[in-house]
Chains A and B, each alone.
Chain A
Amino acid sequence: MSSVWPRLEPRLAEVQKPARYIGCEGGAKAKAPDDALVSWLFTYPDTYEIGLPNQGLQILYEIVNERPDGRADRSYAPWHDLEAIMREEGIPLFSVEHHTPANEFDAIAFNLSAELTYTNLVNCIDLAGLALHAADRTGRDTLVMVGGHCTYNPEPVADFVDVVVLGDGEEVVGEITEVIAEWKNHGTFDRPELLLALSAVEGCYVPSLYEATYADGRFTGLVPLHPAAPELIEKRTIADLAEWPYPKEQLSPLTEVVHDRLNVEVFRGCTRGCRFCQAGMITRPVRERPADQVRTMVKNGLERTGYNEISLTSLSTADFSGIESTVSGIMADADDSGCGPISVSLPSLRVDAFGVDIAAELQKGKRSGLTFAPEAGTWRMRQIINKLIREEDLYDAVESAYSQGWQRVKLYFLIGLPSETDEDTLGIAELAKNCVAIGRKHSKRASVTVSIGGFVPKPFTPFQWFGQNTSAELQRKVNLLRDATRKMHGVNIKWHDPKATLAEGIASRGDRRVGAVIEDVWRNGGTFQEWSEHFELERWTSAMDRAGLSIDEMVYRHRTEDEALPWDHLSAGLHKDFLWEDWRDAIAEVGLPDCRWTPCYDCGACTGYGIEHVVASATAPAGGSQGTGQDLSVGSAVPVKLLERSK
């Protein structure tokens, strides 16, 4: 394998933040290039600062490098300045470890966490020197694979990728490595044979083995082109997080990145059942890491990296059943270590006083801001989205925060939710005003930042049938809130650009025809679409026009129960009728409690895979999970369907 470093190095001083391109992180693996091994290039299709902390990529990177038959490097999307130099000098996309050209790897695997990175995916394939479309790649050409949350509707990128991998990657990455190794040993390099072999691996979807059908301009289904192609592709789920204590050596970068701290995943999955939340639906069931393993991973990670900040990650960390003892254990270990003060953050704080008390305990060293996500402004709306936070829970939480010294509280809300009225929207301003009033009792400088996002319905959620609000409607609601909060002292409002929300909507639920739109946007210079300075909606709307596609049809329209969805051939374990039922319940304003501590609703996620929720402790956290209707001030009895982890 070759290296682009001699050509890259003399030009690197010309670009912004050249440290993005040199690797050398703590924990980086430097398994030497060797054609006898199956080589992977794990790539995040956005900047280094955003991509490096991605835990999914880091986990797979370690697992492959531990295998005797594999090796892996990493790569990230180059910023515009370097891209111009690369195209001028003919330097292809490269790995940061060995500066090996991307097209010398057996596979390049992208993490897709955000739809607006799709044009960067295309750009990276092109920069790698590979044919853009899977159909044009032959023989030993590098396999293009994608994984991550966005792959639950991979159709918009189906033309560009060879293999889509659904669900947890820990086990399947090894199985794919073995298939590729065998194919390489074979020596015939018959690509269709490899793709067929990969389609037989559970969790792998090979788009080229299927053809989409349409009638009257509407998607009607996907037809297998080969008898061996499975009709339904199931996601992969690892049963026990304890068997996968990865990353064991989290990368500690040389230069500043987002989430620049030690991240330890405490559980995967969430059963709160917030109806807008794709992550909570597709990652079921809940699988908690044993509390003592969390503590060991934190202790080892701090000693190895020198970080003084830890994040305990999950979709709702305060719901971790051993949270209090885990936290006190971590703080005790840190005191003993002599490494100086540390702070622990919980990325998703529970909206009640209990959550704040934990945060206060954690952030003795360094006090960052507190963020709560009530998501909607009225109780009616919160029942519809199944985020059953009572107004008084929020007020208790902010009271507790301001009284313990925090000056600023950030509140996250969504607008454009199903059946939303202006009263619901304005409820956001009302909540913010009341929160500031509570804060002013404690400090004159108390303030609330309200962060507003436009709702994009996602596949495999009860809202997958809902017609997204138009960008004009979202802008109108933003204006309503801006006007309502203008004279509220201490309330600051920030919002996500409704135009970007529309582009995300196109990519989220589009079918295969959206591939042409993504390619068009890319050809017209639309990379880094998550960066507001590089986003122009006009590129997307004109590309839709050129592709003969309608935004009304694809984004704004409510879908019906009987119509084919572009992701019907994939399974996240959830029964479609469970989702439909939940969608009807939403419209009827009926909430659904968390099933961790209440009986099962048979959503399909556990039963389909023969697994169950795995919790570190059989005792629910004080207050149980919000939305269970339990008394939030005390601990609660443990319900029936709970599997206690065997020691």
Chain B
Amino acid sequence: MKLRLRYSRHGKIRFISHRDTARLMERAFRVEKLPVTYTEGFSPRPKLAFGLALTVAHESEAEYLDLDLVTPVELDGLAERLTVALPDGLCVEAVVPLEPRSMSLQQAIVCCGWRIEVIGAPIDDVTNAVAAVLAAPERALERERKGKTTVVDVRPAVISVEVHGETTNGVQLYAVLANGELTLRPSELVRLLDAELAMTGLACSLREGRVCRTNQWTNADGERHEPIVLNPTGAALAQLPEPPEASRPREIRAS
């Protein structure tokens, strides 16, 4: 049996790493005695498949994890029990069964929604910078990977950016950024906006404040789908819509 988990990460625990998250999940599964499949060999490891890594210090409302079980388990109440077994701030929002040959999370996600706080410039300047980036046909960004610097046109990865008012320290943005062949990170969007401000001759530098991933989306028939959609009213499973066909990523309401 395969399961897919959706979980969130908020508060102090946002400072842990992706590897830390993996270890904490493994421990919680053992506390809850989930019959997780282990790899063979001298150092057996539980078979877990994580989705996109979440940067240290970022929060999230939509993280995913797939796992293999040796035997089926009762799903009712499992999300709540796992949340209790996890440290404060990590919360399992839903657990659903997964079709045996589903696409991996890493491959399936085409873009993510982000709430990004930017600090260091007044809201009007940030708004202008956002408009300029969106109006531009291309935007080059220097990237350093393994000591090599490359210049990439990342404009296609900026799907949308909206200015959502001010926070205590800065300006709140909502952005949808691509994932896949061309991926853009929130910190890189901030760098693009900062470069935009510099080009207009403004003597301010923009930095990243609080960041939260709000969504991860797959693409099916030109439409975005969360791998697991949460039911905001907490309605019972019986009210679920008909499951979509197996070839598409599953979209299921979970309590």
Q: Which residues of A contact B (CB under 8 A)?
A: 10, 12-13, 17-19, 21-26, 252, 254-256, 302-308, 337-341, 365-367, 405
B16 touches A305 (CB 8 A): no
In the assembled complex, the CB of B7 is this many whole angstroms from the nearest CB of chain A, namely 15
Q: Of B17, B20, B56, which one neighbours A13 at CB under 8 angstroms?
A: B56
Contact A340 B27 (CB under 8 A): no
Looking at B41-49, B104-112, B133-141, B149-157, the stretch in contact with chain A turns out to be B41-49
List A contacts of B28 (CB < 8 A).
306
Contact A341:B89 (CB < 8 A) given known A256-B19, A306-B30, A365-B44: no
In the bound complex, what is the Cα–Cα distance between A10 and B56 (angstroms)? 13
Say whether A341 contacts B87, CB under 8 Å.
no
Question: What 19 additional pairs, Cβ within 8 angstroms, besides A305-B31, A340-B36?
Answer: A12-B15, A13-B56, A22-B12, A26-B87, A252-B27, A254-B13, A256-B19, A256-B20, A302-B30, A305-B27, A306-B27, A306-B30, A306-B85, A307-B30, A308-B30, A365-B44, A366-B43, A366-B44, A367-B43
Q: With A22-B12, A306-B29 in contact, do A341 and B20 touch (Cβ < 8 Å)?
A: no
Q: Which residues of chain B are within 8 angstroms of A254 by Cβ–Cβ distance?
A: 13, 16, 20, 24, 87
Q: Is the CB of B33 within 8 A of A337?
A: yes
Measured CA separation A13–B187 after assembly (Å): 12
CB A107 to nearest CB in B, in angstroms, measures: 26
The minimal Cβ–Cβ distance linking B147 to chain A, given in whole angstroms, is: 19
- Residues of chain B contacted by A21 (CB below 8 angstroms): 15
Question: Contact partner of B13 among A22, A302, A305, A308, CB < 8 A?
Answer: A22
Which residue of chain B has the shortest Cβ distance to A338 in the bound complex?
Answer: B33
What are 26 inter-chain pairs, A to B, with CB distance below 8 A?
Answer: A13-B15, A13-B56, A18-B15, A18-B57, A19-B56, A22-B15, A24-B88, A25-B87, A252-B27, A254-B16, A254-B20, A254-B24, A256-B23, A302-B30, A303-B31, A306-B26, A306-B27, A306-B30, A306-B85, A307-B30, A337-B33, A339-B30, A340-B38, A340-B46, A341-B44, A366-B43
Q: Which residue of chain B has the shortest Cβ distance to A5 in the bound complex? A: B12
CA distance A24 to B16 in the complex (A): 11
* 9 closest residue pairs by CB, A with B: A306-B27, A13-B57, A18-B15, A306-B30, A306-B31, A22-B12, A339-B30, A19-B16, A338-B33
Report the nearest A residue to B19, measured CB to CB: A256
B169 — which chain A residues lie within 8 A by C-beta? 10
A26-B87, A308-B30 given as contacts; is B15 within 8 A of A19 (CB)?
A: yes
Given contacts A306-B29, A339-B33, A366-B44, A24 and B87 within 8 Å (CB-CB): yes
Q: Are A24 and B89 in contact (CB under 8 A)?
A: yes
**B35 touches A (CB below 8 Å):** yes
CA distance A12 to B46 in the complex (A): 32
Q: What is the interface residue range for chain B against chain A? A: 20 to 34
Chain B hits for A13, CB < 8 A: 15, 56-57, 208
Note all chain A residues with C-beta closer than 8 A to B23.
256
Q: Give Cα A23 to B29, complex, Å.
A: 22
A337 to B85, CA, bound (A): 16
Q: Enumerate chain B residues within 8 angstroms of A303, measured Cβ to Cβ.
A: 31
Closest CB-CB distance, B203 to chain A, in whole Å? Answer: 22
Q: Give A11 Cβ to nearest chain B Cβ, in Å.
A: 11
CA of A303 to CA of B23, assembled, Å: 16
Interface of A is mostly: loop
Chain B contacts of A405 at CB under 8 A? 42
* Contact between B56 and A367, CB atoms less than 8 A apart: no
Chain B residues with Cβ below 8 Å from A18 are 15, 56-57
**A23 close to B12 (CB less than 8 A):** yes
- Asked whether, in the complex, the Cβ of B33 is within 8 Å of the Cβ of A24, the reply is no
Q: Report A189 CB to chain B, min CB distance, Å.
A: 35
Question: Roughly how many angstroms separate A17 CA and B15 CA in the complex, as a whole number?
Answer: 8
Q: Which residue of B lies closest to A18 (CB)?
A: B15
- Shortest C-beta distance, B211 to chain A (Å), equals 9
C-alpha spacing A106/B88, complex, angstroms: 29
- Across the interface, A341 reaches (CB within 8 A) one of B17, B26, B33, B38, namely B38
Q: How far is the CA of A170 from the CA of B23 in the complex (A)?
A: 32
Chain B residue at minimal CB-CB distance from A28: B87
Cα–Cα, bound, A308→B35 (Å):
14
Chain A residues positioned under 8 Å from B26 (CB to CB): 306
CA gap between A19 and B11 in the complex, in Å: 12
CB distance B12 to A338 under 8 Å?
Answer: no
How close is B213's CB to chain A, nearest CB, in angstroms? 15
Chain A residues with CB under 8 A of B57: 12-13, 18
Please, which residues of chain B bring their CB within 8 A of the CB of A17?
Answer: 17
Q: Which residue of A lies closest to B89 (CB)?
A: A24
Name which of A21, A252, A306 has the most chain B CB atoms within 10 A of its CB. Answer: A306
A332 to B82, alpha carbons, bound, how many Å? 26
Bound CA–CA A139/B16 (angstroms)? 40
Chain B 53-90, CB-CB to A under 8 Å as 1, else 0, gives: 00011000000000000000000000000000101110
Residues of chain A within 8 A of B31, CB atoms compared: 303-306, 339
Whether A366 contacts B42 by the Cβ 8 Å rule is: yes
The residue of chain B having its C-beta at the shortest distance from the C-beta of A17 within the complex is B17
Residue of A nearest to B29 (CB): A306
Minimum Cβ distance to chain A for residue B53 (Å): 15
- Chain B nearest CB, measured from A149 CB (Å): 30
CB contact under 8 A between A24 and B30, given known A18-B56, A367-B42: no
Measured between C-beta atoms, what is the minimum distance from A248 to chain B in Å? 17
Closest to B209 in A: A10
| Contact with A255, one of B17, B36, B46, B85 (Cβ below 8 angstroms) | B17
Residue of B nearest to A337 (CB): B33
A32-B64 Cα distance, complex, nearest whole Å: 35
Q: Specify which of A23, A26, A405 lies most central, judged by the most chain B CB atoms within 10 Å of its CB.
A: A26
B252 to chain A, nearest CB (A): 27
Query: Known contacts A255-B16, A256-B20; is A338 also within 8 Å of B87 by CB?
Result: no
Tell me the nearest residue of chain A to B15, going by C-beta.
Answer: A18
- Whole-angstrom distance from the CB of B27 to the nearest CB of chain A? 3
Report how far A392 CA is from B184 CA in the complex, Å: 62
User: In the docked arrangement, what's the CA distance between A10 and B15, Å?
Assistant: 11
Residue in A closest to B87 when the chains form the complex, CB atoms:
A24
CB distance from A13 to the nearest CB of B (A): 4
Separation of A405 and B42 alpha carbons in the complex (Å): 10
* Min CB gap B86→A, angstroms: 9
With a cutoff of 8 Å between Cβ atoms, the chain A residues found around residue B12 in the complex are 22-24
The CA of A338 and the CA of B31, in the complex, are separated in Å by 10
**Which residues of chain A have C-beta atoms less than 8 A from B20's C-beta?**
19, 254-256
A7 to B144, CA, bound (A): 31
Inter-chain CA distance A235–B15, complex, in Å, is 41
Min CB gap B40→A, angstroms = 11
Interface string of B209-237 (1 = CB under 8 A from A): 10000000000000000000000000000
Closest Cβ of chain B to A639, distance in Å, is 41
Smallest CB gap from A366: residue in B: B43
B16 cross-chain contacts in A, Cβ below 8 A: 19, 254-255
Q: Looking at the assembled complex, report how far the CB atom of A312 sits from the nearest CB atom of chain B, in whole angstroms.
A: 19
Residues of A within 8 A of B209 (CB): 10
By a CB distance below 8 angstroms, the chain A residues around B88 are 24
> Nearest chain-B residue to A254 (Cβ)?
B16
A503 to B24, CA, bound (A): 39
Name the A residues within 8 Å of B89 (CB-CB). 24
- In angstroms, Cα B28 to Cα A305, docked, is 8
Nearest CB of A to B34, in Å: 9
Q: Which residues of B contact A25 (CB under 8 A)?
A: 87
A503 to B30, CA, bound (A): 45
A612 vs B27: C-alpha distance in the bound complex, in angstroms?
40
Residues of chain A within 8 A of B43, CB atoms compared: 366-367
How far, in angstroms, from A17 to B57 measured CA to CA in the complex? 10
- B35 neighbours in A (Cβ, 8 Å): 338
Closest residue of chain B to A365 (Cβ to Cβ) is: B44
- Distance in Å: Cβ of B72 to nearest Cβ of chain A: 15
Residues of A close to B15: CB separation below 8 A: 12-13, 18-19, 21-22
| A17, A18, A307, A340 pick with most chain B CB within 10 angstroms | A340
A17 to B16, CA, bound (A): 8
Residues on A with C-beta less than 8 A from B208 are: 13
The interface residues of chain B lying within 8 Å CB-to-CB of A339 are 30-31, 33
Question: In the assembled complex, which residues on chain B have CB atoms less than 8 Å from the CB atom of A366?
Answer: 42-44
